[in-house]
Structure 1
């Protein structure tokens, strides 16, 4: 997978997770301002990542490019929405996990 395709796939996964989180935590049909801000921030971080070719997950990266506040927010999103991804987007989650696992070896 090329870096550009990997970036787009990561953005897609993050967007789905943030939308799921917002829907179930903030009970909004559309992304609230806080979640929209987090999504834009995450996409900017993904676009600027110099390790895209070799990285697995941001949490296992040696360089943390998220601010402490945003890192805390994204951890909460991942924690609360990852299990929903199993039911709503299992193939996408599986592809994401396998892609990242292959790069980790």
Structure 2
């Protein structure tokens, strides 16, 4: 792949330099615990923000609903008006068949 005549030597030098550099790196024994704590802290913060946002949206919806219901005039009732019978409160009373409704002759 490397067409440079000195490519093999350069690759070998680069490999040796990187191996030497890698041997000098010492892993931190607390790195995993630190990263895990930070991740859990971000996760808790995200859940808290989501809960607060849901609570605020719910409270706003309730307040807007109450405000809309409060905007009706105090004398009128939208839900039920006592002067008219309810439309579908009860089924109509059954009617007797025509033959039974006539008085008996006799």
Q: For this structure pair, what is the TM-score category when the shorter chain's length is used for normalisation? A: under 0.3
More helix by share: 1
- Higher relative contact order (Cα pairs below 8 Å, separated by 6+ residues): 1
| TM-score of the superposed pair, with normalisation by structure 1 | 0.23
